[in-house]
Structure 1
Amino acid sequence: MGNTTKFDELQVIGGEEWCVFEELGIPAIKARVDSGAKTSSIQANNVKVYNKGVEEWVKFEVNPIQENRSVTITCEAPLVDRRTVKSSVGISEERLVVKTSIKLGNNIHSVELTLANRDTMEYRMLLGREAINQRYIVNPAESYCMQNFSEEEIQEKYASHMAEKSGLTIALLASNPNLYSNKRIIEAGEARGHEVVFLNVENAYMKLDTKSPQIRYRGGNVLNKFDAVIPRIKPSVTFYGCALIRQFDNLGVYCLNTAEAITQSRDKLFASQLFSKNDIDIPITGFAKSPMDTKDLIRMVNGAPLIIKLLESTQGKGVVLAETNKAAESVINAFKSVQTNILVQEFIKEANGQDIRCFVVNGKVVASMQRQAQKGEFRANIHQGGVASLIKITSEERKLAVKAAKILNLAVAGVDIIRSNKGPLLLEVNSSPGLEGIEYATGLDIANVMIRAIEKKLNYTSN
């Protein structure tokens, strides 16, 4: 058997344990014990490699407390390897590996850690089998067998890192500071003691560099003081706006909606495919390339009247009602002749020009309103003269709205639902929902709810 430790000499550890890294300056970090992973990993932001004499070292930042990005520890350790790691979704990426000492209870030994962006993970660290082989046996039914810390002890250990702040510094990344929604968000943030800075998407630019990545603003000002970003990106600047959001995220700034979530929500075809895949009922929808398929495409969505949507449309623009099959054929083929991508969708006649907007924040419907189209219009749209009113939604509609936002991974979303004879159907999900109509219709301070969502994520409490 070779040099194998006897079973009864191994200490029992639980499925989660508190680890201490004295050399890194981390007094306590909760780890999930994962014998399926070879190497241990730790959440790391702003990773930089530098030379210390003849050795390569790594400087990185760790947010050691779960659901709390306000505490940041700056760590330094020698670089021992660069490894290609495949994520759970099959994407390969290079990760840096450092070596340091770990303390579990009274035991101290050396451990290798891969530096990973575990920001969306529940645990800030994974303890892999290389760290536990020949030392411990895992009982996944237990927790904190080596040592446990109370909430008060954790607060005490990190007290020096929890300097009181007068408020957060929040960037509102948008295009027009005079829009109702943008004004309200700034007002709500300032009312809660935060500094809210309006940033025009098109006036920001970025520096891509491994050692010192940056975002700069008109005239060369470096944007490096933000705790959070609220993105409200108009469709025409989606590509550039999402690039900026990714850069903010790379710099360790919390973004209320991620670039990936916004991109998915803006691609109506991809979003519809995701909804269909995840058993969310939508109006029957068709998509085709060739004009030769137009007649069958119309039949497929139950014939005219039907809706024709530009894939890039927003706020009701680029949406056409074709009342006869002949009119539908003409419009579809006209769009195709100029190489414009469209969706063809069944018309829900029984909705009578009404739809429901549910405003979802962090997995909860915080407000909902009914929108009624103007006379002669087929679609409810308050941007085009529609009327908004308060409505009580059903539990089925609430679940549908929450699920739709979750599928797109949107923390803030405007979810549009239509009532049909088949039950509620999802129309679309907006990643930058307007506040004016829903605040007027409900009398609720939605902007305040958005600011509080950021506070909760950053574990911020006002004085």
Structure 2
Amino acid sequence: MKELELIGSEEWCVFKDLGIPAIKARIDSGAKTSSIQATNIKIHSKEAQEWVKFDVNPLQENRSIAIPCEAKLVDRRMVKSSSGISEERLVVKTPVTLGDSVFEIELTLANRDTMEFRMLLGREAINERYLVNPAETYKIQDFSEEQINKKYAPYFKEKTGLKIALLASNPELYSNKRLMEAAVARGHEIVFLNVELAYMKLDAHSPEIRYRGGNILKEFDAIIPRIKPSVTFYGCALIRQFDNLGAYCQNSAEAITQSRDKLFASQLFSKNDIHIPITGFAKSPMDTKDLIKMVNGAPLIIKLLESTQGKGVVLAETNKAAESVINAFKSVQTNILVQEFIKEANGQDIRCFVVNGKVVASMQRQAAKGEFRANIHQGGTASIIRITPEEKKLAIKAAKVLNLAVAGVDIIRSNKGPLLLEVNSSPGLEGIENATGKDIANSMIMAIERKLKFRM
């Protein structure tokens, strides 16, 4: 009987025919076929046979290295992923080198951007060749960081900064201008992308995002999404596509969607023991009177679920007025929330700007004369304020519950303590930077650098 060589749970593989000098692989005897990370997959004819061109990013921490590969297509195969989802994958055959051994293996081409390893070595490749010792790694061959750097030296591009895209609608807005300035000041390349001018190609093998004129958008390190409410659905679809292509999105599509759904967000806050003003929601006009009573009666706040920047928010000063407004909204099938009015706040609230789990600035907003709600977009004023530890904790927790890396958290002071009003996933910078003197745009860019472990 042939004595089998011991192999570790992780090994370095070399693919000379593909031009890959070294790629780290997870050894998985539970998977039948081996797979490799591949993007920009394109099938073409060569000598009356089907071949595949594809790019491989062999190093997990460096997307800037993309090796163009070409191999003969040998099969199309339905493969079930670790999440249980079946998908068709292209299969190629190529020699692999492990230590002193060279042998052919089949590789399925897969998007492994989110996986810890860019390659998986399955049981067909190791069967009758190796015994797996899961307690050890790199039994066959190990490369030091210095050796890997030397192998990939021809592929390293001199990088002076990150490539960032600001995904928004108006390049002239203060917040967008400040973010562009801050990124450039820190040595990064940043481009403005209008949400409505981008479009996408959905394909398992070569997904793309294109911009007006057909330019393919790729190789972005990070995306800063600042999506206006009217394009939330499409903007979030683009963010998911950028995420699928391997770019870091400072706020995820899921987090933005949750924050924009005021009812769902309120349910999440309640579930996570975050105190908000008593809030009611009902479908039938028959329940209006009890709905009003439930939030302690008038005066009370009526707000549209889609409202932003104080628009679509009404103060009903009497129960009769509240009934009329609520039933009017319901008659036109408009979803609203009914919320208790915190009289003791005196038209003031607090905006906390949270970046990566830290309050980087906070301001107090005072409503304009005759207004019941503090809003600097409607004539309110802003001033710097020192928040309490309880308020800071509340702001950080609210952003965390929605999984927002960047958030504007609005808090109101009441006789019951601080209450959360709402969380904004695309908070403006102008009011809070002017009120506090803090460079929040710079904080956002630095947060991206830390997330991507970027060093100048």
Length-normalised TM-score, structure 1: 0.81
Q: Which residue of 1 aligns with 2:76?
A: 81
Match of 2:336 among 323, 338, 342: 342
Match of 1:63 among 57, 67, 71: 57
Q: Which residue of 1 aligns with 2:364?
A: 371
Matches within 5 A, 1:80-99: 80-85=75-80, 88=83, 93-99=87-93
Whether the 8 Å contact between 2:363 and 2:436 is mirrored in structure 1 is no
Matches within 5 A, 1:32-431: 32-34=26-28, 37-79=31-73, 80-85=75-80, 88=83, 93-128=87-122, 130-132=124-126, 135-140=130-135, 142-205=136-199, 213=208, 215-217=210-212, 220=213, 222-224=215-217, 227=220, 228-249=222-243, 253-277=247-271, 280-349=274-343, 351-361=345-355, 363-365=356-358, 367-374=360-367, 376-384=370-378, 385-392=380-387, 394=389, 398=392, 400-419=394-413, 425-431=419-425
Whether the 8 Å contact between 1:358 and 1:414 is mirrored in structure 2 is yes
How far residue 424 of structure 1 moved from its aligned partner, in angstroms, is: 5.1
Whether the 8 Å contact between 2:200 and 2:207 is mirrored in structure 1 is no
* Structure possessing the higher radius of gyration over alpha carbons: 2
Amino acid at match of 1:439: E
CA distance in 1: counterparts of 2:292 and 2:31, whole angstroms? 51
Sort the Cα spacing of 1:116 and 1:311 in 2 relative to 1 into closer, same or farther, 3 A.
farther
CA distance in 1: counterparts of 2:275 and 2:411, whole angstroms? 10
Whether the 8 Å contact between 2:15 and 2:22 is mirrored in structure 1 is yes
Sort the Cα spacing of 1:60 and 1:305 in 2 relative to 1 into closer, same or farther, 3 A.
farther
How far residue 369 of structure 1 moved from its aligned partner, in angstroms, is: 0.5
Residue deviations 1:418-457, cap 9 Å, x none? 4556665443332222111232333332222333344455
The gaps in structure 1 that reach 5 residues or longer are none
How far residue 59 of structure 1 moved from its aligned partner, in angstroms, is: 2.9
Sort the Cα spacing of 1:261 and 1:178 in 2 relative to 1 into closer, same or farther, 3 A.
same
CA distance in 1: counterparts of 2:156 and 2:38, whole angstroms? 19
Root-mean-square deviation (Å): 3.7
CA distance in 2: counterparts of 1:102 and 1:419, whole angstroms? 65
Which deviates more, 335-344 or 193-202? 193-202
CA distance in 2: counterparts of 1:33 and 1:351, whole angstroms? 61
Residue deviations 1:291-345, cap 9 Å, x none? 2232333344454443322111112221223344433322221111111112233
Sort the Cα spacing of 1:13 and 1:435 in 2 relative to 1 into closer, same or farther, 3 A.
same
Q: Which residue of 2 aligns with 1:448?
A: 442
Sort the Cα spacing of 1:448 and 1:75 in 2 relative to 1 into closer, same or farther, 3 A.
farther
Sort the Cα spacing of 1:36 and 1:273 in 2 relative to 1 into closer, same or farther, 3 A.
farther
How far residue 290 of structure 1 moved from its aligned partner, in angstroms, is: 1.9
The percentage of aligned residue pairs carrying the same residue is 73
How far residue 367 of structure 1 moved from its aligned partner, in angstroms, is: 0.8
Whether the 8 Å contact between 1:81 and 1:98 is mirrored in structure 2 is no
Whether the 8 Å contact between 1:388 and 1:437 is mirrored in structure 2 is no
CA distance in 2: counterparts of 1:133 and 1:422, whole angstroms? 67
Whether the 8 Å contact between 1:367 and 1:442 is mirrored in structure 2 is no
SS of the equivalent of 1:262 reads: helix
CA distance in 2: counterparts of 1:420 and 1:344, whole angstroms? 18
Length-normalised TM-score, structure 2: 0.82
Whether the 8 Å contact between 1:368 and 1:393 is mirrored in structure 2 is no
How far residue 400 of structure 1 moved from its aligned partner, in angstroms, is: 4.9
Sort the Cα spacing of 1:214 and 1:204 in 2 relative to 1 into closer, same or farther, 3 A.
closer
Sort the Cα spacing of 1:117 and 1:208 in 2 relative to 1 into closer, same or farther, 3 A.
closer
Sort the Cα spacing of 1:454 and 1:98 in 2 relative to 1 into closer, same or farther, 3 A.
farther
SS of the equivalent of 1:444 reads: coil
SS of the equivalent of 1:327 reads: helix
CA distance in 2: counterparts of 1:262 and 1:336, whole angstroms? 26
How far residue 181 of structure 1 moved from its aligned partner, in angstroms, is: 0.7
CA distance in 2: counterparts of 1:417 and 1:99, whole angstroms? 59
Amino acid at match of 2:164: I
How many residues end up aligned between the 2 structures? 450
CA distance in 1: counterparts of 2:82 and 2:343, whole angstroms? 46
CA distance in 2: counterparts of 1:96 and 1:302, whole angstroms? 62
Amino acid at match of 1:307: I
SS of the equivalent of 1:59 reads: strand
SS of the equivalent of 2:234 reads: helix
Which deviates more, 319-328 or 183-192? 319-328
The gaps in structure 2 that reach 5 residues or longer are none
Whether the 8 Å contact between 2:383 and 2:436 is mirrored in structure 1 is no
How far residue 184 of structure 1 moved from its aligned partner, in angstroms, is: 0.8
How far residue 163 of structure 1 moved from its aligned partner, in angstroms, is: 1.4
SS of the equivalent of 2:190 reads: strand
Which deviates more, 105-114 or 168-177? 105-114
Amino acid at match of 1:414: G
Which deviates more, 231-240 or 25-34? 25-34
Residue deviations 1:204-244, cap 9 Å, x none? 45566776845132xx2625466243322211222333344
Whether the 8 Å contact between 1:215 and 1:247 is mirrored in structure 2 is no
Sort the Cα spacing of 1:35 and 1:430 in 2 relative to 1 into closer, same or farther, 3 A.
farther
Which deviates more, 343-352 or 235-244? 343-352
Sort the Cα spacing of 1:454 and 1:67 in 2 relative to 1 into closer, same or farther, 3 A.
farther
Whether the 8 Å contact between 2:351 and 2:364 is mirrored in structure 1 is yes
